[in-house]
Structure 1
């Protein structure tokens, strides 16, 4: 029996993948056999990530572009076309955060969060899907949702709105592209211990709240997201479409 989770011969683009959770998605897919294309807006960070993965023997390249800028996205895909890359798997991971009460929130800050999380997911997926359809080989698109795709927290309204939109955009993409054998699903990470969350982890009150409101009684690790990414990128999930899988230690299940 063939390994359902084997990604050998596949090429995967992961946005926002020079560090943090995106880097672990890339590493997980590389471990499963995929060739990896990293993305960042910072060349130095991108070069460091490429070197780290190449040192472990993986096939990795990378492109600097802003996923929320249509011209940048279109240009990057033209470069990838010219280099002969044919993307089989896309993970729309790039993201930022901005914490501020709604009554004090400037439109530019609202728009930037929406653009990076929601509009960028549309832009990059559109480019990938058009190429998958033209090649007539199908493919996998994995969007990144959040616990805020289901629930809200104060001071992160634009992020919450964007991640709720990502959940529904995932369903819309699955509806339109399913006939081309393209499966579009999403991952909803729970509270994951990353460098970006260091301040929250070091905040004793918040840290205890996370632990007490999670059945697992702890923060998750980036490595614990890798298996879900591999599953959704592989032939094991060929009849799974339009879903969001929460990797949250049970957080959403607990009152």
Structure 2
């Protein structure tokens, strides 16, 4: 059932990691406002469960099973989106992340690579929409120190590098009518004290 407070009718959206947590809530919210939504996850069983729920609610939601750290899978996702949405994407919510909770000296090159792997999606489709918007789901870990969470705080989508990427893309892609914003959140359930 569409929410009548305002409308996203005719808009298209990609929410990465939309089958649980914040991603799930964003899918519900955007679909509730009438947007056609596509989401992706690595868990095919959970994807099918969510798609059934959204269909029962009358939402226009489709999904892909893919790992965004894989370049071939990311490329395939963008091809699917282009086909589904007629080559245009209005909204990208970059929500996928993974936290590495270990000391910096124990982090591997692969940890660093995975931490930056999903930061740029969809420029061509966003530009083609004529009015694109990217929302990066960030965290307070990007502005304060969290014990044993260096990579998470420094590079992951939830953090400092993502915040800076949002600023840079807002400037660089503004001429393509693409907005970029970073929305910070607290690590729910974390018992870690803030260290300023």
Q: Which residue of 2 aligns with 1:82?
A: 83
Aligned partner of 1:93 among 92, 95, 105 = 95
Aligned partner of 1:171 among 160, 167, 175 = 167
Q: Give the unaligned 5+ runs of structure 2.
A: none
Q: CA shift at 1:84, angstroms? A: 4.1
Contact 1:12/1:34 (<8 A) preserved? yes
- Find the structure with the greater CA-based Rg: 1
TM-score normalised to structure 2 length: 0.86
Distance 1:29 1:62, change over 3 A: same
Q: CA shift at 1:104, angstroms? A: 2.7
Superposed structure 1 runs of 4+ greater than 4 Å apart: none
Q: CA shift at 1:136, angstroms? A: 5.4
- Is the helix fraction higher in 1 or 2? 1
Q: Which residue of 2 aligns with 1:132?
A: 126
Q: Give the unaligned 5+ runs of structure 1.
A: 201-205, 214-254
TM-score normalised to structure 1 length: 0.67
How many residues matched?
189
Q: Which residue of 2 aligns with 1:23?
A: 24
Give CA deviations for 1:172-218 in whole Å, capped at 9, x if unaligned. Answer: 111111112211111111243xxxx4xx4xxxxx28x6xxx8xxxxx
1:66 alignment partner, SS class: coil
Aligned partner of 1:145 among 133, 138, 150 = 138
